[in-house]
Chains A and B, each alone.
Chain A
């Protein structure tokens, strides 16, 4: 078993969608993408955003871009136009997700 932070497998971009954010994770290669598809579940992402977000997480698979797109609900402390948070638009949620650590059968390196 190896504990691997997400930033070793891919990168991410996030943005606001009203009172929600989306975080897209893009794998560096096909092997990494297979690992993400298997291990990076919506439940894992929801648990990771537990302190910042209040709602469910939906995952959409985008194989042509080696990507998973997560919509994280109620993640801005109100709507992007109403939230008083420093990051009222979820710009940093991409970096936040990359700190998630996956337990993989072996280190992909």
Chain B
């Protein structure tokens, strides 16, 4: 709306929490860019963050974001690149404070930071259930009520609107909670071009653009079948969309970076984690991925046009995490001959010895996997005959942490009291960790209220 730049350039520098900190820096320094988006959240990230918050009141957000900000913000403010990140996790106030701290440390004047909240409905969940919202599991249809006590996190996937509100206030950095991934791209395009969220075709186009870049290098030659032929994979360029006011856009990357953008890299990412491609439901729109034309228009340039969309649904998706006990997995390398048989016997010895000590694990709580004997392609490829070595992965799940610790103690003794050729018990006894059950559900949009708070760092 403001300056009607054509095209508008949006690059995504983080595909998940834990992605490389070099990518955002390359995006802002390696060529023209208007918006840097950073996508930190996956399905269970919120629950991990909530665990961190329980141990430390100043935690609970994607701390990696601070380092990315430290590296990129000086260039961004100098060149007018605005940053949009869903990094706030379950602790927006702490994240905001830390972001402001980074800005101060950098000695930058007049930087404006927006905090978008309202996605986190964890505290409100019991009241909402009492009010008749059933949060039925999208996979099974089961209502949440019987499991309320196990809930560890609950976040609605909010859309582009509050981010647009923040951008309209002229901020340099927008930090959100569980904003849906493509909305990070929808917001700046609507803001720049003055698109209404009611123009479903344009919002669908922006949503498809956001979906293509949200996993970073997965659309520029990462995780791709022609991996042997991809140029300079070490310096792989992260994706940029060059969006036009008519809703068409070109997927590309900076000149001089590694990787590849062509029809195949873009098509593969369009269908990553896809369900029904005619009906991609985001908080902003229902996009039809089958409506677009995808064509190569130059080296590392793929044009996507013709997107069609329809009105968004009345509900937000909610990611709910449920406490589901503990898990522990141990690992031993087994040398041949007869490596597979030795691995199986070793796992049987383990459970037999534990049982002798009164530690019984029901069969459904046990897990045994012999890596090297064909676990990834079971039933799809022939199993190898007498492989020279295999890796035994053996584990248990259950609600009793002590029992799982007892399991861990019984692993190392197998090296001297089991079959010959067991090795590779590195790293000591494996520690039980908490298990989170993912419970996808819906909630009426009317009960979720988003807020935008803007702070100017003096």
Contacts and interface: CB of A to CB of B under 8 A. Distances in A.
Interface of A: 11-13, 15-19, 22, 24, 26, 48-52, 60, 62-67, 69, 71, 79-82, 84-87, 91-92, 95-97, 99-100
Given A80-B43, A82-B435, 20 more contacts: A12-B225, A15-B272, A17-B275, A26-B268, A49-B379, A60-B278, A62-B271, A62-B290, A64-B290, A65-B289, A65-B290, A65-B294, A80-B438, A84-B369, A86-B371, A86-B375, A87-B376, A91-B223, A92-B376, A96-B381
Contacts of A52: 378-380
Q: Which of B47, B289, B321 has the most CB of A within 10 A?
A: B289
Contacts of B138: 18
Contacts of A64: 290-294
A43 to B, nearest CB: 15
27 contacts: A11-B264, A13-B268, A17-B275, A19-B139, A24-B274, A26-B268, A26-B271, A49-B379, A50-B379, A51-B379, A52-B379, A60-B276, A65-B267, A65-B289, A65-B290, A79-B438, A81-B44, A81-B321, A81-B435, A82-B437, A84-B329, A84-B367, A84-B393, A84-B395, A86-B369, A96-B377, A96-B380
B50 interface: no
Size category of the binding interface on chain B? 35 or more
Contacts of B437: 79, 81-82
Given A22-B273, A48-B379, A100-B380, A84 B268 contact: no
A48 B397 CA distance: 29
Interface in B9-48: 43-44, 47
Contacts, number: 123
A80 B440 CA distance: 13
Task: Please provide the 4 A-B residue pairs with the shortest distance between their CB atoms, ordered closest to farther.
Answer: A51-B379, A24-B271, A84-B367, A11-B225
A47 to B, nearest CB: 9
Contacts of B397: 82, 84
B324 interface: yes
A51 B291 CA distance: 35
Contacts of A84: 327, 329, 367, 369, 393, 395, 397
